[in-house]
Amino acid sequence: MLPRLANPYSSRTDFAQLARDVPAFAAFLQDGHAGWSTIDFQDDAAIRALTAALLERDFHLRIELPSDRLCPTIPSRLEYVLFVLRLALITSDRSSPASFVGLDMRVLSRHIPSGPTH
């Protein structure tokens, strides 16, 4: 069994609080059900603003997310990183504290043709 490492996004994100913490995000808030604020999840700009706000508030990273690029969702990406970390923890040599130093996560890309290449 893998040790459980808590994902801070496993419970509902308070978008109103996020907008107070990162004022640029406030422009994307909408009234939701039961008094909760929400965003339009069909709006690419709102998703980018949410991602940027979470990265700024929770990781102290300020980034620009170009509209012509994919926008990662922070909660699912963090869950993936936590899963890999759990695997590393259960497979490392715990008798030596220096046996696990960190994760080297490299991004590898492969060109996948999506149309004519004339």
Mean of pLDDT values over 95-110: 54
CA-based radius of gyration for the chain: 19
pLDDT in tens, 50-101: 999 999 999 899 998 889 988 888 888 888 888 888 887 777 666 665 555 5
- What pLDDT is attached to residue 3? 62
Helices 74-91, 44-59: axis angle to 10 degrees equals: 50
Domain regions of the chain by residue span = 15-72
Alpha carbons 7 and 23: distance in angstroms, whole number: 24
pLDDT greater than 80 at residue 118: no
From its phi and psi, is residue 34 left (phi > 0), alpha (psi between -120 and 50) or beta?
Answer: left
CB 103 within 8 A of CB 84: yes
- What pLDDT is attached to residue 61? 92
